[in-house]
Structure 1
Protein backbone atom coordinates (compact mmCIF):
# COMPACT_ATOMS: atom_id res chain seq x y z
CA UNK A 1 0.00 0.00 0.00
CA UNK A 2 1.33 3.40 -0.97
CA UNK A 3 2.14 5.81 1.85
CA UNK A 4 0.10 9.01 1.91
CA UNK A 5 2.01 12.29 2.17
CA UNK A 6 0.70 12.78 5.73
CA UNK A 7 2.27 9.46 6.76
CA UNK A 8 5.70 10.38 5.44
CA UNK A 9 8.42 11.12 7.98
CA UNK A 10 9.12 14.78 8.69
CA UNK A 11 12.66 16.00 8.07
CA UNK A 12 14.28 19.38 8.56
CA UNK A 13 17.12 20.13 6.15
CA UNK A 14 19.39 23.14 6.66
CA UNK A 15 21.65 23.96 3.72
CA UNK A 16 24.37 26.44 2.81
CA UNK A 17 27.10 26.90 0.26
CA UNK A 18 29.63 29.47 -0.76
CA UNK A 19 32.88 30.33 -2.51
CA UNK A 20 36.00 32.27 -1.70
CA UNK A 21 36.39 34.15 -4.06
CA UNK A 22 33.26 33.90 -6.22
CA UNK A 23 33.81 32.23 -8.63
CA UNK A 24 36.52 30.04 -7.20
CA UNK A 25 36.86 27.17 -4.75
CA UNK A 26 33.61 26.44 -2.93
CA UNK A 27 32.09 24.37 -0.17
CA UNK A 28 28.64 23.28 0.92
CA UNK A 29 27.10 21.95 4.12
CA UNK A 30 23.89 20.21 5.19
CA UNK A 31 22.26 19.46 8.53
CA UNK A 32 19.45 16.88 8.46
CA UNK A 33 17.12 16.39 11.44
CA UNK A 34 14.77 13.43 11.70
CA UNK A 35 13.23 11.71 14.70
CA UNK A 36 15.48 13.40 17.23
CA UNK A 37 18.65 12.51 15.30
CA UNK A 38 20.98 14.69 13.28
CA UNK A 39 23.28 14.05 10.34
CA UNK A 40 25.81 16.44 8.82
CA UNK A 41 27.17 16.17 5.29
CA UNK A 42 29.44 18.48 3.33
CA UNK A 43 31.61 18.72 0.27
CA UNK A 44 33.67 21.02 -1.89
CA UNK A 45 34.43 21.92 -5.49
CA UNK A 46 37.73 23.48 -6.63
CA UNK A 47 36.15 25.76 -9.26
CA UNK A 48 32.54 26.83 -8.84
CA UNK A 49 30.19 29.67 -7.82
CA UNK A 50 28.19 30.57 -4.71
CA UNK A 51 24.93 29.71 -6.49
CA UNK A 52 26.20 26.30 -7.57
CA UNK A 53 27.29 25.48 -4.02
CA UNK A 54 23.91 26.57 -2.60
CA UNK A 55 22.16 24.35 -5.15
CA UNK A 56 24.52 21.42 -4.52
CA UNK A 57 23.80 21.64 -0.79
CA UNK A 58 20.03 21.53 -1.34
CA UNK A 59 20.24 18.66 -3.85
CA UNK A 60 22.61 16.70 -1.60
CA UNK A 61 20.25 17.11 1.36
CA UNK A 62 17.31 15.68 -0.59
CA UNK A 63 19.41 12.92 -2.19
CA UNK A 64 20.56 11.77 1.26
CA UNK A 65 16.99 10.80 2.18
CA UNK A 66 16.33 7.10 1.64
CA UNK A 67 12.54 7.28 1.36
CA UNK A 68 9.89 9.88 0.48
CA UNK A 69 9.61 12.46 3.24
CA UNK A 70 7.92 15.71 4.17
CA UNK A 71 10.89 18.05 4.11
CA UNK A 72 11.23 21.60 5.34
CA UNK A 73 14.34 22.80 3.55
CA UNK A 74 15.92 25.95 4.94
CA UNK A 75 18.26 27.95 2.72
CA UNK A 76 19.76 31.42 2.89
CA UNK A 77 19.76 31.49 -0.91
CA UNK A 78 16.84 33.38 -2.42
CA UNK A 79 18.15 32.06 -5.76
CA UNK A 80 17.49 28.45 -4.70
CA UNK A 81 14.15 29.15 -3.03
CA UNK A 82 12.82 31.36 -5.83
CA UNK A 83 14.12 29.00 -8.50
CA UNK A 84 12.25 26.06 -7.00
CA UNK A 85 9.07 27.93 -6.01
CA UNK A 86 8.69 30.66 -8.65
CA UNK A 87 10.83 30.22 -11.76
CA UNK A 88 10.99 26.46 -12.39
CA UNK A 89 7.52 26.13 -13.91
CA UNK A 90 8.27 28.78 -16.54
CA UNK A 91 11.70 27.38 -17.30
CA UNK A 92 10.36 23.88 -17.91
CA UNK A 93 7.44 25.22 -19.94
CA UNK A 94 9.94 27.12 -22.13
CA UNK A 95 12.23 24.06 -22.49
CA UNK A 96 14.82 25.36 -19.99
CA UNK A 97 14.88 28.89 -21.37
CA UNK A 98 14.68 32.07 -19.32
CA UNK A 99 11.96 34.65 -19.96
CA UNK A 100 14.42 36.41 -22.28
CA UNK A 101 14.94 33.18 -24.27
CA UNK A 102 18.46 32.46 -23.02
CA UNK A 103 19.37 29.01 -21.68
CA UNK A 104 18.81 28.80 -17.91
CA UNK A 105 22.07 29.20 -15.99
CA UNK A 106 23.08 26.17 -13.92
CA UNK A 107 20.54 24.01 -15.80
CA UNK A 108 22.40 20.83 -14.82
CA UNK A 109 21.95 21.59 -11.13
CA UNK A 110 18.35 22.78 -11.50
CA UNK A 111 17.55 19.42 -13.13
CA UNK A 112 19.42 17.58 -10.38
CA UNK A 113 17.53 19.55 -7.73
CA UNK A 114 14.20 18.93 -9.44
CA UNK A 115 14.91 15.18 -9.58
CA UNK A 116 16.06 15.15 -5.95
CA UNK A 117 12.90 16.96 -4.79
CA UNK A 118 10.49 14.84 -6.87
CA UNK A 119 9.86 11.99 -4.39
CA UNK A 120 9.40 14.36 -1.46
CA UNK A 121 6.89 16.94 -0.29
CA UNK A 122 9.27 19.90 0.08
CA UNK A 123 8.52 23.23 1.74
CA UNK A 124 11.21 25.75 0.78
CA UNK A 125 12.02 28.31 3.49
CA UNK A 126 14.38 31.25 3.10
CA UNK A 127 16.32 32.35 6.18
CA UNK A 128 18.53 35.39 6.45
CA UNK A 129 22.18 34.30 6.34
CA UNK A 130 24.82 35.44 8.80
CA UNK A 131 22.17 36.68 11.21
CA UNK A 132 22.86 34.54 14.26
CA UNK A 133 20.50 31.70 13.33
CA UNK A 134 22.13 28.63 14.99
CA UNK A 135 21.39 26.04 12.29
CA UNK A 136 22.26 28.40 9.44
CA UNK A 137 25.51 29.31 11.19
CA UNK A 138 26.22 25.61 11.66
CA UNK A 139 25.82 24.72 7.98
CA UNK A 140 27.82 27.83 7.03
CA UNK A 141 30.64 26.49 9.22
CA UNK A 142 30.35 23.06 7.56
CA UNK A 143 30.60 24.66 4.11
CA UNK A 144 33.56 26.80 5.18
CA UNK A 145 35.36 23.77 6.69
CA UNK A 146 34.82 21.75 3.52
CA UNK A 147 36.15 24.62 1.42
CA UNK A 148 39.19 25.09 3.65
CA UNK A 149 39.94 21.35 3.74
CA UNK A 150 39.77 21.15 -0.04
CA UNK A 151 42.02 24.15 -0.61
CA UNK A 152 44.63 23.62 2.11
CA UNK A 153 48.06 22.40 1.14
CA UNK A 154 48.67 18.80 2.16
CA UNK A 155 51.42 18.48 4.80
CA UNK A 156 54.89 17.78 3.37
Structure 2
Protein backbone atom coordinates (compact mmCIF):
# COMPACT_ATOMS: atom_id res chain seq x y z
CA UNK A 1 0.00 0.00 0.00
CA UNK A 2 1.28 3.47 -0.85
CA UNK A 3 2.45 6.07 1.67
CA UNK A 4 0.74 9.45 1.64
CA UNK A 5 1.96 12.84 2.78
CA UNK A 6 0.24 14.01 5.96
CA UNK A 7 -0.87 17.11 4.05
CA UNK A 8 -2.91 14.94 1.67
CA UNK A 9 -5.41 14.31 4.48
CA UNK A 10 -5.67 17.93 5.65
CA UNK A 11 -9.13 19.40 6.10
CA UNK A 12 -9.82 23.01 7.12
CA UNK A 13 -13.23 24.32 8.18
CA UNK A 14 -14.33 27.74 9.37
CA UNK A 15 -17.35 28.23 11.61
CA UNK A 16 -18.91 31.29 13.19
CA UNK A 17 -19.62 31.16 16.93
CA UNK A 18 -23.26 32.23 17.32
CA UNK A 19 -25.11 33.10 20.57
CA UNK A 20 -26.97 29.73 20.69
CA UNK A 21 -23.54 28.01 20.71
CA UNK A 22 -22.51 29.76 23.94
CA UNK A 23 -22.97 29.42 27.66
CA UNK A 24 -23.83 32.07 30.28
CA UNK A 25 -20.24 33.41 30.03
CA UNK A 26 -20.75 34.08 26.30
CA UNK A 27 -18.12 31.44 25.42
CA UNK A 28 -18.70 28.42 23.22
CA UNK A 29 -19.87 25.20 24.88
CA UNK A 30 -17.09 22.60 25.14
CA UNK A 31 -19.51 19.98 23.83
CA UNK A 32 -20.03 22.00 20.65
CA UNK A 33 -16.25 22.09 20.11
CA UNK A 34 -16.10 18.32 20.70
CA UNK A 35 -18.77 17.75 18.04
CA UNK A 36 -16.83 19.91 15.57
CA UNK A 37 -13.61 18.01 16.37
CA UNK A 38 -15.26 14.61 15.87
CA UNK A 39 -16.81 15.72 12.58
CA UNK A 40 -13.62 17.17 11.07
CA UNK A 41 -11.63 14.20 12.38
CA UNK A 42 -13.96 11.81 10.56
CA UNK A 43 -13.78 13.84 7.34
CA UNK A 44 -9.99 13.86 7.53
CA UNK A 45 -9.81 10.10 8.17
CA UNK A 46 -12.26 9.35 5.33
CA UNK A 47 -10.20 11.49 2.97
CA UNK A 48 -7.04 9.59 3.93
CA UNK A 49 -8.51 6.07 3.95
CA UNK A 50 -10.97 6.59 1.08
CA UNK A 51 -13.31 4.61 3.29
CA UNK A 52 -16.00 4.85 5.90
CA UNK A 53 -14.53 5.38 9.36
CA UNK A 54 -15.60 5.11 12.97
CA UNK A 55 -14.33 7.01 15.99
CA UNK A 56 -12.37 4.64 18.21
CA UNK A 57 -11.44 7.27 20.77
CA UNK A 58 -10.98 10.92 21.48
CA UNK A 59 -7.60 10.52 23.08
CA UNK A 60 -7.09 14.02 24.42
CA UNK A 61 -8.71 17.41 24.31
CA UNK A 62 -7.00 20.48 25.70
CA UNK A 63 -9.15 23.60 25.99
CA UNK A 64 -6.51 26.33 26.01
CA UNK A 65 -8.53 29.55 25.68
CA UNK A 66 -12.19 30.48 25.19
CA UNK A 67 -13.94 31.39 21.95
CA UNK A 68 -16.70 33.99 22.20
CA UNK A 69 -19.84 34.72 20.22
CA UNK A 70 -18.81 36.48 17.03
CA UNK A 71 -15.43 34.72 16.77
CA UNK A 72 -14.58 32.77 13.63
CA UNK A 73 -13.30 29.28 14.46
CA UNK A 74 -10.85 27.66 12.10
CA UNK A 75 -10.50 23.91 12.59
CA UNK A 76 -7.59 22.12 10.98
CA UNK A 77 -7.17 18.34 10.97
CA UNK A 78 -4.71 15.90 9.46
CA UNK A 79 -3.54 12.31 9.95
CA UNK A 80 -0.38 12.21 12.04
CA UNK A 81 0.20 8.45 12.26
CA UNK A 82 -1.34 5.17 11.17
CA UNK A 83 -1.52 1.63 12.38
CA UNK A 84 -2.75 -1.15 10.13
CA UNK A 85 -6.39 -0.01 10.18
CA UNK A 86 -6.31 2.96 12.55
CA UNK A 87 -5.38 6.61 12.10
CA UNK A 88 -4.34 9.15 14.68
CA UNK A 89 -5.84 12.54 13.80
CA UNK A 90 -4.59 15.87 15.14
CA UNK A 91 -7.12 18.70 15.32
CA UNK A 92 -6.39 22.26 16.30
CA UNK A 93 -8.95 25.02 16.72
CA UNK A 94 -8.06 28.69 16.37
CA UNK A 95 -10.47 31.51 17.24
CA UNK A 96 -10.22 34.84 15.48
CA UNK A 97 -11.92 38.09 16.36
CA UNK A 98 -12.52 39.32 12.82
CA UNK A 99 -13.06 42.93 13.92
CA UNK A 100 -9.81 43.31 15.89
CA UNK A 101 -7.90 40.60 13.99
CA UNK A 102 -6.89 38.96 17.29
CA UNK A 103 -6.17 35.24 16.89
CA UNK A 104 -5.62 32.57 19.56
CA UNK A 105 -5.28 28.81 19.75
CA UNK A 106 -8.32 27.56 21.66
CA UNK A 107 -8.20 23.77 21.48
CA UNK A 108 -5.91 20.88 20.53
CA UNK A 109 -7.06 17.30 20.26
CA UNK A 110 -5.97 13.83 19.16
CA UNK A 111 -8.48 11.24 17.98
CA UNK A 112 -8.20 7.67 16.75
CA UNK A 113 -10.32 6.67 13.79
CA UNK A 114 -10.61 3.20 12.26
CA UNK A 115 -11.36 2.53 8.59
CA UNK A 116 -14.11 -0.02 8.04
CA UNK A 117 -15.51 -1.90 5.05
CA UNK A 118 -19.18 -2.34 4.08
CA UNK A 119 -19.62 -5.00 6.79
CA UNK A 120 -18.12 -2.77 9.47
CA UNK A 121 -14.88 -4.78 9.64
CA UNK A 122 -11.57 -2.90 9.97
CA UNK A 123 -9.68 -2.43 6.71
CA UNK A 124 -6.06 -1.40 6.02
CA UNK A 125 -5.11 2.26 5.55
CA UNK A 126 -2.10 3.87 3.84
CA UNK A 127 0.79 4.97 6.02
CA UNK A 128 1.76 8.63 6.25
CA UNK A 129 4.98 10.62 6.11
CA UNK A 130 5.68 14.13 7.42
CA UNK A 131 6.91 17.08 5.39
CA UNK A 132 6.78 20.18 7.63
CA UNK A 133 8.48 20.73 10.98
CA UNK A 134 5.11 20.59 12.81
CA UNK A 135 4.26 17.31 11.06
CA UNK A 136 7.66 15.81 11.92
CA UNK A 137 7.20 16.62 15.61
CA UNK A 138 3.71 15.10 15.66
CA UNK A 139 4.84 12.03 13.69
CA UNK A 140 7.85 11.36 15.91
CA UNK A 141 5.83 11.73 19.12
CA UNK A 142 2.97 9.52 17.88
CA UNK A 143 4.40 6.20 19.13
CA UNK A 144 4.43 7.66 22.66
CA UNK A 145 0.74 8.64 22.36
CA UNK A 146 -0.06 5.21 20.89
CA UNK A 147 1.60 3.51 23.87
CA UNK A 148 -0.47 5.70 26.22
CA UNK A 149 -3.65 4.57 24.44
CA UNK A 150 -2.61 0.92 24.83
CA UNK A 151 -1.90 1.47 28.54
CA UNK A 152 -5.32 3.08 29.07
CA UNK A 153 -6.95 0.12 27.34
CA UNK A 154 -4.97 -2.37 29.45
CA UNK A 155 -5.97 -0.53 32.64
CA UNK A 156 -9.66 -0.93 31.78
CA UNK A 157 -9.38 -4.72 31.85
| TM-score normalised according to structure 2 size | 0.27
Instruction: Compare the two structures and name the one with the higher strand fraction.
Output: 2
The answer to which structure has the higher helix fraction is: 1
**Greater relative contact order (CA < 8 Å, ≥ 6 in sequence):** 1
